[in-house]
Structure 1
Amino acid sequence: MRINYDFSDLEAFLAVKETGSFHLAAERLNLSQSAVTRRVQKLEAALDSVLFERSTREVRPTLAAKRLQVRAEAILADARETALAMRDESVAFEHQRNAVVTVAVIPTVVSVLLPAALALFREQGNAARLRLLDHSANAVAEAVGKGEADFGLCSIPSLEPNTLFEPLFDDQIVLVLPPGHALEAQEALTWADVQGEALILPARGTGNRLLIDEAMARARLPLRWSCEVRRSSTALDLVAAGTGVALLPLSAAQSAGGRVLYRPVTQPEIRRPVGLLTRVGQQDRHSAAALKVAIRAAAERVFSQ
């Protein structure tokens, strides 16, 4: 038997039965009287039964209506309990397997921060899946600003106007060297030491390049490059192959393992702030908030050493 009525038809029927009026039922349901009439007529047609005897002065329920009332109330009560149970379950288990946290992140901080943060996240009983959008700093800010990510992990300087930046740590710009390079013996370098080297720089338009150019302009120091690259991983590969030396964030140099060496460069020292980026007015879901807590704890643990 095919069922040709729905919950709204049963609600309309019960409202008319309880108020004794199509007009009062319409007011209760915030519908037009004609809409209530259509729903009752649809139910009568589906059940092949007359539910109300109508006259100009009153609406009287039939025997079929009296028999239907108990069943209709039970059906609607069961539907409400099911909806509440499903809603409660989705809230309770939002942080479990069906939850996905999307994080826009600059690749250079992935290896130095996210493994420790995820370990803490799992230790605290969170089983949400993680979707990483590895972008440049500008693209991370754009993804967060447009709501494509729950939050971001990035460096400034350029941010979307509807985002908030929470600093976590400062990432120093260092000179990355191939093993055996002549500068390896020096614990710290000055910018004079960099002159004359085959220098690999981040491409113009990237956040790291902007930091470097601004620092050089303030110090009135010239900086000649031999190669520009858009990705830190590409620069690391070139350095490891002996093509040159590169100015990169410390986090990127550390991610290369033992393939390269790195030394701090001072006078001036260049640091980029790295932190959490959130959209203004956004309410974090349970899993996203828990992952932020884990990232803060991991950053404090890793960069306080």
Structure 2
Amino acid sequence: MSINYDFGDLEAFLAVKNTGSFHAAAEQLNLSQSAVTRRIRKLELVLDSVLFERTTRAVKPTLAAKRLQARAEAILEDARETTRAMRDESVAFAHQRGAVVTVAVIPSVLNRLIFPALRGFHAVGHTARLRLLDGSANEVADAVSSGEADFGLCPIPLIDPQTVFEPLFDDPMVLAVPKDHDLAHIGRVGWHALSDVPLILPARGTGNRLLIDEAMAKARMPLLWTFEVGRTTTALDLVAGGFGVAPLPLSAVGVAEVAVCEINAPEIARPVGLLSRLGQSETAAVTALKEAIRAAV
């Protein structure tokens, strides 16, 4: 059985029932009297019942109207309660979205960008919570393109038509060496000089390894590695333990217990920047944190 009446029809019925007048009901609902009359007639046709006895002096509810009143009031109250609940939930979810900023980030730029940006972000009164999704550059790109993260911080990834990359700085490749190593006292070293030392390289397929391999191929300078590792922290632990030297982005070295010297011939740098999803609307907190990161550069 189809239902061919709506909430407006029930509101018109209750207004006539409570005021005892089509004219008064029309004023209460801010409608014309003819509009109220049409709604009552519609209800009567759908319910196949006469709801009001109309005379020149009064409008009297029938037994059918008295039976309908409680049901109509219950239906409208349920509708109002549903509307209130949905609005309350929408406000709550909007608050949560504004209160939490999700950033996908490669761990090596935390010290260089995220930490100083957070200090500036909080200093001007922002209180949003920060959810960090730390992972590889590919994982950062996936989190941004899928909408899991509000934005990302990473080296330039493979171009995705759904994302846009904003360069922030070039992160030079340097050589992390043990503090007591002979190279620790040399300010600069060429790649060719690394053939005689145990070399710790990033794993194949990582962004840093692709940069190194591409530069070495152009220079026609093969590298022989002693250790190949998946994580920068593992490379730094090996260097600190005296097991070898590791070419790493400068921002990745941070405050590690190692010495650093520049590498040239050829010089290598990775562009690091903000990765955002095209067409995404930003909360004020997201925009403010981006600005704080730009200022930290």
* TM score, norm. by length of structure 1: 0.74
Percent sequence identity is: 46
* CA shift digits 1:89-109 (9 cap, x unpaired): 876x5676xx21111100100
2:233 counterpart residue number: 233
Matches within 5 A, 1:188-227: 188-227=188-227
Whose radius of gyration is greater, 1 or 2? 2
Among 252, 260, 263, which residue is 1:262 paired with?
A: 260
- State whether residues 14 and 72 of structure 1, in contact with CA within 8 Å, keep that contact through their aligned partners in structure 2: no
Q: What amino acid maps onto 2:10 in structure 1?
A: F
2:284 counterpart residue number: 286
Q: What amino acid maps onto 1:52 in structure 2?
A: L
Does residue 19 in structure 1 map to residue 16 in structure 2? Answer: no
Q: What amino acid maps onto 2:170 in structure 1?
A: D
Task: Give ranges in structure 2 of 5+ residues lacking alignment.
Answer: 16-34
Alpha carbons of 1:262 and 1:294: their partners in 2 closer, same or farther (altered >3 Å)? same
Q: What amino acid maps onto 1:290 in structure 2?
A: A
Q: C-alpha distance in 2, partners of 1:144/1:273? A: 18
Give the paired residue count: 265
- State whether residues 189 and 263 of structure 2, in contact with CA within 8 Å, keep that contact through their aligned partners in structure 1: yes
1:272 counterpart residue number: 270
Name the SS of the counterpart of 1:269 in structure 2. coil
Q: C-alpha distance in 1, partners of 2:186/2:60? A: 97
Does residue 109 in structure 1 map to residue 106 in structure 2? Answer: no
Matches within 5 A, 1:99-178: 99-178=99-178
Alpha carbons of 1:122 and 1:219: their partners in 2 closer, same or farther (altered >3 Å)? same
* Alpha-carbon shift at residue 293 of structure 1 (Å): 1.0
* Alpha-carbon shift at residue 162 of structure 1 (Å): 1.5
Alpha carbons of 1:142 and 1:77: their partners in 2 closer, same or farther (altered >3 Å)? closer
Cα RMSD for the two superposed structures? 3.8
Q: C-alpha distance in 2, partners of 1:15/1:168? A: 62
* Alpha-carbon shift at residue 156 of structure 1 (Å): 1.9
Alpha carbons of 1:67 and 1:179: their partners in 2 closer, same or farther (altered >3 Å)? closer
Q: C-alpha distance in 2, partners of 1:25/1:252? A: 73
Q: What amino acid maps onto 1:13 in structure 2?
A: L
Q: C-alpha distance in 2, partners of 1:290/1:94? A: 16
* TM score, norm. by length of structure 2: 0.75
Q: C-alpha distance in 1, partners of 2:142/2:177? A: 33
Name the SS of the counterpart of 1:144 in structure 2. helix
Alpha carbons of 1:129 and 1:150: their partners in 2 closer, same or farther (altered >3 Å)? same
Name the SS of the counterpart of 2:119 in structure 1. helix
Name the SS of the counterpart of 1:195 in structure 2. helix
Task: Give ranges in structure 1 of 5+ residues lacking alignment.
Answer: 1-7, 27-32, 42-49, 300-305
1:295 counterpart residue number: 293
- State whether residues 95 and 126 of structure 1, in contact with CA within 8 Å, keep that contact through their aligned partners in structure 2: no
Q: What amino acid maps onto 2:165 in structure 1?
A: F
